[in-house]
Chain A
Amino acid sequence: MVDPVIASRVQFALTTIVHIIFPVMSMGLAPFLVYFTWKEVRGGEAVYEQLRRFWTKIFAVSFVVGTVTGIVLEFEFGTNFAAFSTFAGELFGGPLATEGMMAFMLEATFLGIFVFGRERVSDRLYFVSSLAVAAGTWLSAVWILIANSWMQLPRGYELVERGGQTVVHLTDPLAAYLNPRFMFMYVHMQNAAVESVALFMAGVAAYHIFKHYVWGYSVQEVDFWEKTLKIAIVALLITAPLQVLHGDMYARHVHETQPQKFAAMEAVWETDSYVPEYLIAFPTSLDDITNPRAKELFGLGIPGGASWLASGGDPQATIRGLNSFDTEAPPVAIVFWSFRAMVGLGFWFILLAFWGGYRWWRGELLEDDLLHKALMGSSLLGILAAELGWVVTEVGRQPWVVQGVLKTADGVSPGLTGTEATITLAGFVMAYASLLALYSYVVARIIRAGPPSTEELRTFVTEADEPTAGAPGDD
């Protein structure tokens, strides 16, 4: 049987890594849906109704899978991390409860109207529903990130004895909840969600355009896909450069507030100044595999680069090494490589955005096969980059669950047995693998089926006007 501490950590990591895909999809899609709905109810071109209907299907599937995987996460605090929940509950439970009441309720109820209510409610209420759904998804992230940012940068509390246990006592809610880390996390996360969805849209659109123009397949609604691609490129042109800009500010903030995490991101073991920014680095001996910057390394670095990043412009700045901390270092190789991959992808997305923008400006958007291939290949890379970012954030703060206050190993439920934890871990690996496969399958089906044709939209309008015409809908 697996040790309950390890099993709980693996289980939580697994459930979070899978869960985050769906909020990224729904948070990213939400602003697009608001825009499409606005154009639709204002009597815009039919393509906006196609866009709204098509992407709503993907939103609805993402929301459902996000809900079922999200409830699991909430419960896991109680089931697997009971010691953490007792310890930090006074401060941590509030944001979680508020997320449920303020955000999730808004999103779930108005999604009912948004998905099923086009024929039932007025244009105005329908548009309000799209806004409410979007506000719900974005507010969810507010409360979850308030809770998470407190774990990264605990403030506004003191430790007290209660019932024989040391627990967190909230003393200053403003300091605790309006945490400086929150804004960095929030902007970076929301922008990442929109960027990821824009990449996904661009990839899906490029696939249909490529199929039509290069392979010569007859693709219905080619205009729809061209419109989709253009909207995605606009979104990418805005979000991709921003992501790198505030990512840089965020990294500096991490250096100031979580030096151990920053040292792991750069794999700096000994405190040093003029630290290079390694683009790649490998140990030459397998014994050092967890330390990408072990002595005998093969590496390619920019002199003073890491110091320059950490300090915001000074290549001579000192970076504190992992060996100077009392606690064990986080898994350095994972943090180091996830960070590099995420930043690398970030720059690739900027390149894609400008490439697409340039071709569009030259009127060659539909003719650049290489661009279409690049977009297709990158359609899931935004989500991958968001995942990698979370790996840096969460693995990088280990061994702490609450930075500097409570170790992750001490947060696990005391009574949990290895058998229980192993059973559920095995169950989750199977269940979450099936969930992902199912989600991918359904989304792929929706994409292959494409949007409802403009003729179908007209049928839809007639049906709504004359409820007696019993022609079956498209699904």
Chain B
Amino acid sequence: MTDYGAFAAGPLFGLPLPELWFALVFAILGTFLFLDGFDFGAGALFATREDDEERETILAAIGPFWDGNEVWLVVFGGALFAAFPAVYANLFSRNYLLLFGVLAALILRGLAPEMYEQRHDTAWQRWWGRSFVTGSVLAPFLLGVFTANWLTGSGALLTPAGVAVGLALVALTVVSGAAFLRVKTTGSLREDVRQTGERALVAYLGLVVVALGLVALSTPRLAAAVTTPPVLVLVATSVGLGAGYMAALRTGRDLLALVASGLLTYGLVAVVALLLYPLVDPGSGLSISEAIIAPLALNIMSVASALLLPLVVTYFVVLYSAFSGPVQPTESY
């Protein structure tokens, strides 16, 4: 047998790898919620448009991106499984029906754009349009409920805190979806989504405060934690980012608004991570140091991720720069 020496004895270079993986898992979750979030939001905004051409434009806008965006969910699952297998097992089996609801929503949402393009009659397109909207709204809602359950350790299907976080996440996807559609479209569609985005932003900020309150009420452990300085700073920053988002939309700096909505998403996920720390799964009482895999496996995963993540970022840069600017109506295979 090969001797792996120091590589197997402890974390590489004495780095706090368990904590870094805890942060990485949430960074990946945040990336998923932002990237797939804006195409969920575009899906929700699809419901507000009657015009066929505008609906096609929304589908064309997310067409090249959504598949890649959704892979972040797979990577999130994989990272959690690889670094904290006991958490993956406990958390996922505890939220059994909820996660199958998420999967059902993702199936509806994922099939819809591909199917919508297959036939050009009204009944077919109306059906897949509905499927697209339902999946796009239901997926972030249920993911929000899941996140709340993760935080509170609850295994219930629906709790007040879960509903509040779910609704907040839906609002947040509309916030970033509106900014994304502003970047990718022109004309009346671009004009109209601004107001929806702004309303969603106000709703989001309100819902976050309500959600934090409900979380604190439901779990004694978190009652004190929600008023600690880091959480309060993040909430205040979110309000600031919200103001920036509005200002950016009104002055037509849509890309900046999209960035602001991204930061809002990471901020929300950071709050969740802060409230959890040092536990990874309150439901099973597992802390980071209890749930983390042994040093050898952890070091291998860390080296692999350090090599692969920059590559992944490069793919996304190539993809997004190949499709920069507003969509052309004729774009297809």
Tell whether, in the assembled complex, residue B97 and residue A424 are in contact, meaning their CB atoms are under 8 Å apart. yes
Could you say which residues of chain B place their CB within 8 Å of the CB of A86? 85-86, 89-90
Closest-by-CB residue of A relative to B109 is A68
- CB neighbors of B among A81-125 (8 A): 82-83, 85-86, 88-94, 96-102, 104-106, 108-113, 115-121, 125
Closest-by-CB residue of A relative to B327 is A116
Main secondary structure of the interface of B (DSSP, over half): helix
Tell whether, in the assembled complex, residue B64 and residue A117 are in contact, meaning their CB atoms are under 8 Å apart. yes
Tell whether, in the assembled complex, residue A463 and residue B318 are in contact, meaning their CB atoms are under 8 Å apart. no
From B91, B107, B117, B319, contact of A112 by CB (8 A) = B319
Q: A97-B82, A104-B74 are in contact. Are A89 and B89 (CB under 8 A)?
A: yes
- CB neighbors of A among B80-104 (8 A): 81-83, 85-86, 88-97, 99-100, 103-104
With A and B bound together, what is the CA distance between A72 and B104 in angstroms?
A: 9
Q: A93-B81, A97-B78, A110-B319 are in contact. Are A57 and B333 (CB under 8 A)?
A: yes
Q: Which of A166-174, A180-188, A347-355, A375-383 touches B? A: A166-174
Tell whether, in the assembled complex, residue B297 and residue A61 are in contact, meaning their CB atoms are under 8 Å apart. no
With A and B bound together, what is the CA distance between A98 and B78 in angstroms?
A: 8
Between A and B, how many residue pairs show CB distances below 8 Å?
252
Tell whether, in the assembled complex, residue A78 and residue B89 are in contact, meaning their CB atoms are under 8 Å apart. yes
Distance in Å from the Cβ of A273 to the closest Cβ of chain B? 35
Main secondary structure of the interface of A (DSSP, over half): helix
With A and B bound together, what is the CA distance between A188 and B322 in angstroms?
A: 36
Tell whether, in the assembled complex, residue A115 and residue B64 are in contact, meaning their CB atoms are under 8 Å apart. yes
Q: Which of A191-199, A287-295, A395-403, A467-475 touches B? A: A467-475
Could you say which residues of chain A place their CB within 8 Å of the CB of B68? 105, 108-109, 111-112
Tell whether, in the assembled complex, residue A97 and residue B70 are in contact, meaning their CB atoms are under 8 Å apart. no
Closest-by-CB residue of B relative to A471 is B330
Interface size class of A (residues with CB under 8 A): 35 or more
Could you say which residues of chain A place their CB within 8 Å of the CB of B103? 68, 71-72, 75
Q: Does A438 contact B (CB under 8 A)?
A: yes
Distance in Å from the Cβ of B41 to the closest Cβ of chain A? 18
Tell whether, in the assembled complex, residue B323 and residue A112 are in contact, meaning their CB atoms are under 8 Å apart. yes
Closest-by-CB residue of B relative to A64 is B114
Could you say which residues of chain A place their CB within 8 Å of the CB of B301? 94, 97
Tell whether, in the assembled complex, residue B323 and residue A93 are in contact, meaning their CB atoms are under 8 Å apart. no
Binding site for A on B (CB under 8 A): 1-2, 4, 8, 63-65, 67-68, 70-71, 73-75, 77-79, 81-83, 85-86, 88-97, 99-100, 103-104, 106-107, 110-111, 114-115, 117-120, 286, 290, 293-294, 296-297, 300-301, 304-305, 308-309, 312, 315-316, 318-319, 322-323, 328, 330-333
> Mind listing 20 A-B residue pairs with CB under 8 Å?
A60-B114, A67-B71, A68-B107, A75-B92, A80-B93, A89-B86, A93-B81, A94-B304, A99-B78, A101-B305, A102-B304, A105-B68, A108-B68, A118-B333, A171-B296, A172-B1, A173-B297, A175-B1, A431-B104, A473-B330
